[in-house]
Amino acid sequence: MTYMLNVNGQDFEVEIKAHETLADVLREKLGLIGVKVSCGEGECGSCTILVDGIPCTACLMLGRQGVDHELTTVEGIGDYNNLHPIQQAFIDEQGFQCGFCTPGFIMTAKAFLDENPNPTEEEVSIAMSGNICRCGAYPWIVKSVLKAAENLRNGER
């Protein structure tokens, strides 16, 4: 059976089996490999997407629970030729190493900065604690988010 999913501003008719996770549906049916699945149990945050602007763990949601919501993945906030200020900030401060956790961090950061445009370093560090970076790039992730906040406050996009 197919259902309508609104993803990154577009509507898609997608085949969804009842037990499929939203993360797998987005990855496999829509090719959105920016939704990265690692622990698969809600600990690492790699699969973080936005549901109506709210950060959610896609590997714990049913595909059907994505219906009738606006879903945003990392592919929806910027692309190779047109980076979002948060993505640019992560490059400028090198807020990553292997990069696997990076899309998840960026989505968490997007939702966080939407609510907290002027955070302290401590607030950022706590807010980013829902995502795991096993490579240990945390100080630079925090710097990236602070830089992104500054860029956004200065009116970048």
Q: Minimum CB separation from another protein for residue 14, in Å?
A: 14
Q: Considering the complex, what minimum distance in angstroms separates the CB of residue 154 from another protein?
A: 19
Answer for which of 38, 70, 116, 150 binds another protein (CB under 8 A) is 38
Examine residue 117 and tell whether it contacts another protein (CB under 8 A).
no
Interface with another protein, residue 74, by CB under 8 A = yes
Q: Answer yes or no whether residue 140 interacts with another protein by CB under 8 A.
A: yes
Using rule CB under 8 A, residue 116 touches another protein: no
Of 7, 14, 44, 71, which lies in the binding site for another protein, with binding defined by CB under 8 A? 44
When binding is defined by CB under 8 A, the residue of 6, 12, 60, 150 that contacts another protein is 60
CB atoms < 10 A from the CB of 2, how many?
10
Q: Are 72 and 113 in contact (CB under 8 A)?
A: no
The count of chain residues that interact with another protein, using the rule CB under 8 A, is 78
Name the phi and psi angles at 46, rounded to 5: -60, -30
Task: Decide: residue 140, CB within 10 A, 0-12 exposed, 13-18 middle, 19+ buried.
Answer: middle
Residue 82 CB burial class (10 angstroms; 0-12, 13-18, ≥19): exposed
Q: Which of 8, 57, 72, 151 is in the footprint of another protein by CB under 8 A?
A: 57
Contact by Cβ (8 Å): 48, 107? yes
Using CB under 8 A as the binding rule, whether residue 151 contacts another protein is answered as no
Query: Please, which of residues 77-96 interact with another protein by CB under 8 A?
Result: 78-80, 83, 87-88, 90-92, 94, 96
Contact call for residue 99 and another protein (CB under 8 A):
yes
Q: How far is the CB of 2 from another protein (least distance, A)?
A: 13
Of 101, 113, 95, the residue nearest 53 (C-alpha) = 113
Nearest residue to 90 (alpha-carbon basis) of 103, 77, 79, 75:
103
Q: Token digits for 102? A: 């990076």
